[in-house]
């Protein structure tokens, strides 16, 4: 089994503001792994530090046994890693088609159209909207567009930051199902979620972060059924 991502002792943050305090995490080929944790604990920063957007200080990050710590985003994309940010992940003033084209700037026209067609097959809701502005899409459709755009680079490993945040329950379900279906195309998935139950239900394993550290890891089903974790991290307490 190939280890797709192997993170050891990762520290990082923004300039001199340290957010991550020694993260250990791994993902094997074909796995679907969810990271959960309270707002502000550093989940987005962790994904950004891997993808070369937040600052990497120390530790080892390997992708398929190749050291990628501190690499630039464009190099990571060339290696087969794609990232869907939590916010501002589409260009509202461009059409759906143009947004998808932006995901494959360096591809030849032929390959680009094939990739766009394949991405639209995954998200049929977008097919009839191809020439509409992204600004006119619903929240769920926008998220589908953001994921489709990430697929244009034909990634092996997809990092998704809260893809179901602020969506209706129906869209949440649909998005998680579609993400799960990406595994059939051999894509390994790392997802950060606040709506953790839906995502964990589809995941192999989970990690819980708190204050810039991993505080727990285990099988997704064990995390889901643990009453203490439910109380503190999955919103089962009355509030």
User: Is the separation of the CB atoms in 57 and 40 below 8 Å?
Assistant: no
How far is residue 7's CA from residue 24's CA, in Å, rounded to a whole number? 5
Residue 45 lies near ligand ADP (rule: CB under 6 A): yes
Q: How many residues bind Mg ion (CB under 5 A)?
A: 2
Binding flags for Mg ion, 11-50, as an x/- string (CB under 5 A): --------------------------------xx------
Handedness of CA 75, 80, 83, 84 (dihedral sign): positive
Distance in angstroms (rounded) separating the CA atoms of residues 193 and 133:
27
Per CB under 6 A, which of residues 20..39 are in contact with ligand ADP? Answer: 37, 39
Q: State which of positions 1-20 bind ligand ADP (CB under 6 A).
A: 14, 17, 19
62 or 86: whose CB is closer to ligand ADP?
A: 86
Q: Who contacts 200 (Cβ-Cβ below 8 Å, separation ≥6)?
A: 34, 36, 193, 206, 220, 223, 224, 234
Which residue in the set 6, 10, 25, 42 belongs to the binding site for ligand ADP (CB under 6 A)?
42
Shortest Cβ contact with Mg ion: which residue?
Answer: 44
Residue 187: count of CB within 10 angstroms of its CB: 22
Q: C-beta of 100: minimal distance to ligand ADP in Å?
A: 26
Name the residue nearer to Mg ion (CB basis): 44 or 101: 44
**Residue 146 in tokens:** 């953001």
Task: Please answer whether residues 112 and 152 qualify as being in contact, where contact means their C-beta atoms are separated by less than 8 angstroms.
Answer: yes
Q: Which of residues 149-178 bind ligand ADP (CB under 6 A)?
A: none
Q: Could you give the CA distance from residue 151 to residue 93 in angstroms, rounded to a whole number?
A: 21
Q: Looking at beta carbons only, is 44 or 89 nearer to Mg ion? A: 44
Is position 195 an interface residue for Mg ion (rule: CB under 5 A)? no
What burial class does residue 59 get, using C-beta atoms within 10 Å of its C-beta: 0-12 exposed, 13-18 middle, 19+ buried?
Answer: middle
In the bound state with ligand ADP, the residue whose beta carbon lies nearer, of 2 and 14, is 14
Give the footprint of Mg ion on this chain (CB under 5 A).
43-44
């Amino acid at each position: 089994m190939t280890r797709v991502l192997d993170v050891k002792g990762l520290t990082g943050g923004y300039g001199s503001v340290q957010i991550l305090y020694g993260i250990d995490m791994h993902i094997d080929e074909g796995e679907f792994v969810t990271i959960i944790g309270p707002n502000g604990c550093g989940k987005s920063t962790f994904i950004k530090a891997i993808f070369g957007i937040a600052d990497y200080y120390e530790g080892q990050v390997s992708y398929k046994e190749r050291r990628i710590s501190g690499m630039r985003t464009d190099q990571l994309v060339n290696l087969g890693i794609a990232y869907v940010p939590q916010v501002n992940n589409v260009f509202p003033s461009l059409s759906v088609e143009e947004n998808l084209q932006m995901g494959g700037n360096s591809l030849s026209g032929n390959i680009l159209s094939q990739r766009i067609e394949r991405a639209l097959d995954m998200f049929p809701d977008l097919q009839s909207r191809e020439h509409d502005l992204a600004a006119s899409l619903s929240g769920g459709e926008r998220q589908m567009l953001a994921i489709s755009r990430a697929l244009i680079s034909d990634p092996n490993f997809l990092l998704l930051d809260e893809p179901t945040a602020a969506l209706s329950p129906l869209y949440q379900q649909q998005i998680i199902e579609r993400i799960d279906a990406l595994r059939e195309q051999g894509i390994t998935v790392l997802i950060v979620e606040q709506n953790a139950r839906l995502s964990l239900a589809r995941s192999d394993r989970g990690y819980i972060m708190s204050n810039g550290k991993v505080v727990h890891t285990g099988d997704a089903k064990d995390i889901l059924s643990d009453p203490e974790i439910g109380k503190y991290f999955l919103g089962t307490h009355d509030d």
